[in-house]
Structure 1
């Protein structure tokens, strides 16, 4: 874990021994994989100092040097704040992870009209703490899906986490209840997903669709009701991926009427139960479990700490 500190608008990082000889340029480009445009902005606006002074971007840094990066500036807010109770799973100076309840949109479709979303609630929370910055959503969940959603608190964190999501360095594990019992208790679904030409919102497995890979494992069965509880994790993040893939296998999600599930519960039985990644600014391993919030409970007798 790296030694870091927040000093006003500045993030301070003590260069560790394993980074001895790295330059600021290499740190931004190779360690953080920061986009060129954003990196250029930090350079031109002199938002990076070493030991409180200007420092050549291509000059090697030494162990113990204090690197300061101006990350915590105020921004013009473009996401209207909206108060609602939120459940915080993890928070520090760079990221915020919330447990999204079901029946709530992750983000607004119309910034001005649609303010009752998790993004608006996160914006309110940040501003209530005096952090006048725009919250940045890293990924999303369907309206009826519950569980862990990751946000970034500043542009550099947002850019780095976006790249980490693309390169599958952020692992999300879901719990779902599906119809039917599996012969194969563990497997991988590798089927491309595209739009359904006959339905505006539905997706389908299609040879011309985008690559989509879902791994799964059965964790509990209810033979009398012909139901299976599964955990699954994704190599890709296609719209409705889990719902489409299991429907395609003949095991639609319980409650997912759009894809053939029966309305045994009021929503699709899908929960983003676990989110894990290596923190880009501290190198700490972050593992968060999102508790189930449904009342009455949908996911019964599932120990989240063992998924």
Structure 2
């Protein structure tokens, strides 16, 4: 339930228009609400008075997902948003083959215990079963619609990849990508149609002390960063995706964090600007550095070395909160198995 105080500037606006344009409801989410003006239920077509109170009540929506008590690592929670740290080896949502014991079952149970009713879990992002990390769940259709349509969203992953990505290797990869872009020009309209958060704008001002240091850090980050813009394609029913001009535009930024020469691996940060299936895994393979433990795109598991899954972890998210409209940034440590592998 949401409550809004009517301001004079919105007088004579239809309630539906007010909720869409001022409170950022989507047209779809308005199909599932009842509205009360000064305590009386009214239609969405009614016009607002100069002052008063508007209450929006979302109609209850059930789910067939069975509630199952699971230990949840809750990172953030309020009346609109739930963010959890998903452990590896856990499906996000039931499938035809796996109908229970998924994160969704645990979320439904959490809502049942907290609110005394079954609520549908509205996942804003999902992770592969063997990928760990942050998942955002909207608690209502308003929050879901806002995140999908209005929120500035960033998501970053930690990955341990095969091989050493040093300065020389970064130069090789960038040269390869530059040639690739010359041979296969990305259509400008595809880039323009991405959400606003895709292309970040860096403001430049006077360079003095702190700003000079910021500039140096920025240049260092750019030196260690690889931007991959390669199309990802699914050929028929094959699970494995490939790089192909017939595919969908995809963009990933890969930043080198640390090299481990004794293990012949590199720790990298990957930032997604598009959300294609297996995007990070496919893009890393395309530059010759597959994720350690990746059974589909890499060399697979090695239990003797403690490699029991793909070492990919969603460790940082940033989003605009649907109610406060303020930026929320959450960061969690590297998952235990990845840390232990690097420290052995």
User: TM-score per shorter chain, which class?
Assistant: 0.7 to 0.9
User: Is contact 2:69–2:106 with CA below 8 Å preserved after alignment?
Assistant: yes
Listed as ranges, the matches of 1:201-240 within 5 Å are 201-240=239-278
The corresponding residue for 2:122 is 136
CA distance in 2: counterparts of 1:237 and 1:144, whole angstroms: 17
The corresponding residue for 2:287 is 249
**Are residues 1:110 and 2:96 paired?**
yes
Structure 2: segments with no counterpart, 5+ residues: 172-223
Structure having the higher Rg? 2
**Are residues 1:195 and 2:234 paired?**
yes
Q: CA deviation at 1:296?
A: 7.1
Structure 1: segments with no counterpart, 5+ residues: 1-9, 302-307
CA distance in 2: counterparts of 1:135 and 1:253, whole angstroms: 30
Describe the superposition over 1:75-112 as per-residue Cα deviations: whole angstroms up to 9, x where unpaired: 3332211111111011111111111000111101139x
The residue matched to 1:277 in structure 2 has which SS?
A: strand
The residue matched to 1:257 in structure 2 has which SS?
A: coil
| Pair 188,31 (structure 1): closer, same or farther in 2 beyond 3 Å | farther
| Pair 13,292 (structure 1): closer, same or farther in 2 beyond 3 Å | farther
CA distance in 1: counterparts of 2:143 and 2:153, whole angstroms: 13
| Pair 222,296 (structure 1): closer, same or farther in 2 beyond 3 Å | closer
CA distance in 2: counterparts of 1:154 and 1:282, whole angstroms: 15
CA distance in 2: counterparts of 1:92 and 1:163, whole angstroms: 20
**Are residues 1:119 and 2:104 paired?**
yes
Find the partner of 1:82 among 56, 68, 71.
Answer: 68
User: Is contact 2:81–2:136 with CA below 8 Å preserved after alignment?
Assistant: yes
**Are residues 1:67 and 2:64 paired?**
no
CA distance in 2: counterparts of 1:48 and 1:92, whole angstroms: 22
The corresponding residue for 2:10 is 21
* Two-structure CA RMSD over aligned residues (Å): 2.8
Describe the superposition over 1:147-199 as per-residue Cα deviations: whole angstroms up to 9, x where unpaired: 001111122222322334xxx722111111112214252121000101145x7
The corresponding residue for 1:304 is none
More helix by share: 2
TM norm structure 1? 0.80
Q: CA deviation at 1:67?
A: 3.2
**Are residues 1:288 and 2:342 paired?**
no
Identify which range, 88-97 or 182-191, moves more after superposition: 182-191
**Are residues 1:170 and 2:170 paired?**
no
| Pair 27,293 (structure 1): closer, same or farther in 2 beyond 3 Å | farther
The corresponding residue for 1:146 is 132
The corresponding residue for 2:39 is 52
Q: CA deviation at 1:299?
A: 7.0
User: Is contact 1:269–1:298 with CA below 8 Å preserved after alignment?
Assistant: no
The corresponding residue for 1:6 is none
The residue matched to 2:152 in structure 1 has which SS?
A: coil
CA distance in 2: counterparts of 1:66 and 1:275, whole angstroms: 34
| Pair 61,218 (structure 1): closer, same or farther in 2 beyond 3 Å | farther
User: Is contact 2:320–2:327 with CA below 8 Å preserved after alignment?
Assistant: yes
The corresponding residue for 2:217 is none
Q: CA deviation at 1:220?
A: 1.3
